[in-house]
Amino acid sequence: MSERTWMQKSGATPGKLALVGCLAVGLVFVLWNQVSDETVDQHNSPQTPPPEQVAPQKQPLVPNSIVTEQPSREWPQMPLESVIKNDPFAKPAWYLATLTDGSQSGDESALLAEQQLEKLRKEQTKIVVISNGERVATIGEESYRVGDIVAGFEITEINMDGVVLTETGP
């Protein structure tokens, strides 16, 4: 029976060992540069006394002469169109297109569209809010914005008179 070598026991290969060696050299180089920069900074500053004479002092993080007001931490304001266009939760157009059933004839789909429109007319638009370019309409219990789909119709405009709907593709 042959004994396994340390390379076989550890799963090391020449490629893995070369990679570990390169990473070790890179780490030593970075550490050496950090230490040498700190040493140069300490030797080049003529105002600092020798280390044995320095007493630890607590200094403020920001000098009193530089204290400024903190910037406002308000939420950024974005136009509604940009928010709607970049909505990560919006369903993609290809998915919305699959929701319509293509097995119906033209007359059946027209009848179904008319029924859906009549249902929406009965629910009526309860509230239309237009503020800072944002337009929101409430139909029944749901709130909608321009671009939303309602019963197979896309909301193309919300104005003070109500909601303008256009029929989506087949």
Strands 142-145 and 134-139: antiparallel
Both tokens of 146, joined, read 């321009």
- Helix, strand, coil percent values for the chain (each to nearest 5): 45, 20, 40
Q: What is the pLDDT of residues 107-116, one digit of tens each?
A: 676 777 777 7
Q: What is the pLDDT of residues 131-169, one digit of tens each?
A: 777 888 887 777 888 888 887 788 888 887 778 888 776
**What is d(CA 138, CA 124) in angstroms, rounded to the nearest whole number?**
9
Cβ-contact 125, 163 below 8 angstroms: yes
Q: What is the pLDDT of residues 63-89, one digit of tens each?
A: 555 556 666 778 778 888 887 777 778
Both tokens of 149, joined, read 């789909």
| pTM beyond 0.75 | no
14 phi/psi in degrees, rounded to 5: -60, -35
**What is d(CA 141, CA 128) in angstroms, rounded to the nearest whole number?**
13
